[in-house]
Chain A
Amino acid sequence: MDFLNAIVALANFVIVPAVAYGSQLALGALGVTLIYGILRFSNFAHGDTMAFGTMVTILVTWWMQSVGIGFGVLPTALLALPFGIAVTALLLLGTDRVVYRFYRRQKAAPVILVIVSMGVMFIMNGLVRFIIGPNDQRFADGARFIISARDFKEMTGLQEGLAIRTSQGITVVTAVVVVALLFWFLNHTRTGKSMRAFSDNEDLALLSGINPERVVAVTWIIVAALATIAGVLYGLDKSFKPFTYFQLLLPIFASAIVGGLGNPLGAIAGGFVIAFSEVTVTYAFKKVLVYLLPESLEPEGLVQLMSTDYKFAVSFAILIIVLLFKPTGLFKGKSV
């Protein structure tokens, strides 16, 4: 019984949150990695793209709530999501047209594009703060839990409860669907194949008649979808605050690099590696150990390796370790 309790406690406080967080990071990292693969630069504006998409979704959600459109037990934000994606896609296509295309034609060095993306980041950050303000916004509605801790205890008779929030369930399901769709698109459609060809060898792809502008446009649309979905899921799970989204840039980049930049499969693996290490290292294991160890050995402290304030340090440390020992990432990424 004690053993089961320990497992449930672990699942409740480590595994479930880490899986949800990992899915959100994976979606974010997929966006970063796609831009890196096709457009060949690290997009510093990605966190703020996520914030922008989420903001549009929140605004549409509020409107829907005000006219009484709901989605039953599911959050209304899921209904608003397509609008968020559409507006973000328009914004990204517009940005590409006004800003990035010029440098692409010039064949500017990647680092110049990174600096340009810094400017875009400023503008998007300013836009989001300008429209919705810098404060916390909550927009989750519908049922809060799939299983609440109390129901679980009554069901199983265990001391520990396992709570699964609706947002966590939705996150995982959505992420699986999105990733499946993305991989099907990349592997089985003409456009997807041309994108992979373009990513592998630009010159060869151009020679075989692939239209680069089309590939780039499709990439931006996919990135808009991925970023908006990742942002909305993160916002539903935690809360929406523009600055937090900017800070997500670090774990997202860490995920993408750990997995191997430019490699979609790696981005997903990287997301989960980062999420699991962040949550495990900053979790106080006392509760789990109390069940597992005999009373005489019971730990006095919280058995927390690091305080939660240092979660950035965790993703960073993993990033450094991977870079030192495997510079192209766990899965083979590009190294330019």
Chain B
Amino acid sequence: MSEMMKNTLLFAAVAGLIVLTGFVQSWNSALLILNMGLISAIMALGVNLQWGFAGLFNVGVMGFVALGGLATVLVAMPPTQEAWAAGGLRVIVALIAGAATIAGAVLTYKRMPKGRSRTVALLAILVGGFFLYRWLFDPAVEAIEGVNPAATGYLGGLNLPVLVAWPVGGLLAAGAAWLIGKTALGLRSDYLAIATLGIAEIIIAVMKNEDWLARGVKNVIGIPRPVPYEIDLQQDPGFVESASGLGLDPVIASTLYVKLLYAGLFAVVLVVLLVMAQLALKSPWGRMMRAIRDNEVAAEAMGKDVTKRHLQIFILGSAICGIAGAMMTTLDGQLTPGTYQPLRFTFLIWVMVIVGGSGNNFGAVLGGFLIWFLWVQVEPVGIWLMQVITSGMAEDSALRAHLLDSTAHMRLLTMGVILLLVLRFSPRGLIPER
């Protein structure tokens, strides 16, 4: 069986699983899996770019995904005029002052000769800058968060179409990646891992606590959608007519139609990114990246700037994760910083890449779909399994109740087992790198 055949069959099998969900459960859940599968596949592409192409160990995927989500709020929500009047400008000036402080400190450190005067100057800049920043920042934040806190209490966004947020999300994530890459790349590989783990936690902490930015844990709901609302479709006589022409209930038809539109949008993004990643992989640039991954010393001896190339690909991969994050928040229609969990948004993506096949873009995409499908379906299967196991026990047995309650946690266990099994018996994944 040729490789092409095998890969097509693998993709067909995953598609078959999703279609089966449609027949057995409902088409709505099948389309939901498909949509999140598309987003997961994009995230996996991003991680694969970093790990598969360049061997960079990024465990901060969650942070970049969350930044993408933040971008949707900043771009698509209507601005809160009163909040801007209350302290919008002051917050921005404060942030500029903060950035200027750090830039000044870095410049001082680089320009001044080593010695006591430099240390004193550095401390003066940092301490003075910090107090200036807090003096500017705190009243402004209080004023903004005081504006109708139950509904807004934040600056709002730019009121642009939500699709603009997708590339913006990528840019935000790229900016964060530049910052972290500048400091942690070039050090040892596990330091990058710890640094990315940390930056992800910090991004989530900022999004949870800075209410003036995106309402924190109060969540932003009702983010504008790129597709029509179900309720409008149900009231549109043309849509109702064509739905009944297909023999469908208009309510179900409208939910399916909306999900299909999303799937179409996501598929376009995935295909574009996949083609680009594929072209990159086959270009001289891609070959150079793999050469660096396989032997950094040799690549450096050939005159390649390893740290710079690493920074480049780190930024690119993170930007892709940011785009996916913006798409996910668009699909949800709300930003809920409390729901970002590293096990779900960082480590699960890693399982996707490893299981699919690191270094192979199609593998990453396949892994994205497959693992997302399993992640969703392990729970119902687990409940069923537990019911079978516990069927012999007494109805009121405490153990039985506990086992049935705990099935929700089977997911993590299953993902861990899958990851270890693949790493052990098929370390190159389902579709290995060529």
Residues of A within 8 A of B (CB): 41-42, 44, 99, 102, 110-112, 114-116, 118-127, 129-131, 133-134, 246-247, 249-250, 253-254, 257, 301, 305, 307, 309-310, 312-313, 315-316, 319-320, 323-324, 327, 335-336
Contact = CB atoms under 8 A, between A and B. Distances in A.
Contacts of B415: 122, 126
A118 B342 contact: no
A316 B190 contact: no
Contacts of B416: 119-126
Contacts, number: 126
A250 B347 contact: no
B198 interface: yes
B424 interface: yes
B9 interface: no
B204 to A, nearest CB: 9
B198 A312 contact: yes
A126 B382 CA distance: 13
Contacts of A42: 190, 193-194
B272 interface: no
Contact of A133 (B187, B343, B406, B410): B406
13 contacts: A111-B189, A111-B190, A115-B419, A119-B416, A122-B413, A126-B410, A129-B409, A130-B409, A130-B410, A257-B191, A312-B202, A316-B195, A323-B195
A320 B347 contact: no
Interface of B: 55, 57, 59, 130, 138, 183-184, 187-191, 193-195, 197-199, 201-202, 205, 208-209, 342-343, 347, 350-351, 354, 405-406, 409-417, 419-420, 423-424, 427
Nearest to A316: B198
Contacts of B59: 44, 118
B420 A120 contact: yes
Given A122-B412, A126-B415, 18 more contacts: A102-B424, A112-B423, A115-B57, A118-B59, A120-B416, A122-B415, A122-B416, A122-B419, A123-B420, A124-B416, A125-B343, A126-B411, A134-B409, A250-B201, A316-B198, A319-B195, A323-B187, A324-B183
A307 B209 contact: yes
Contacts of B347: 118, 121-122
Contacts of B342: 246
Nearest to A118: B347
A309 B208 contact: yes
A115 B187 contact: no
B185 to A, nearest CB: 11
Nearest to B204: A312
B209 A323 contact: no
Contacts of A41: 190
A126 B354 contact: no
B296 to A, nearest CB: 12
A116 B420 CA distance: 6
Nearest to B408: A129
Contacts of B413: 122-123, 126-127, 130
A57 B43 CA distance: 39
Contact of B420 (A99, A129, A130): A99
Contacts of A249: 197
A110 B190 CA distance: 9
Contacts of B189: 110-111
A96 to B, nearest CB: 13
Contact of B412 (A111, A126, A250, A327): A126
Nearest to A243: B341
A112 to B, nearest CB: 8
Interface centre among B191, B350, B414 (most CB of A within 10 A): B191
Contacts of B190: 41-42, 110-111, 114
Contacts of B412: 122-123, 125-126, 129
A320 B195 contact: yes
A310 B206 CA distance: 8
Contacts of B191: 257, 323
A186 B123 CA distance: 41
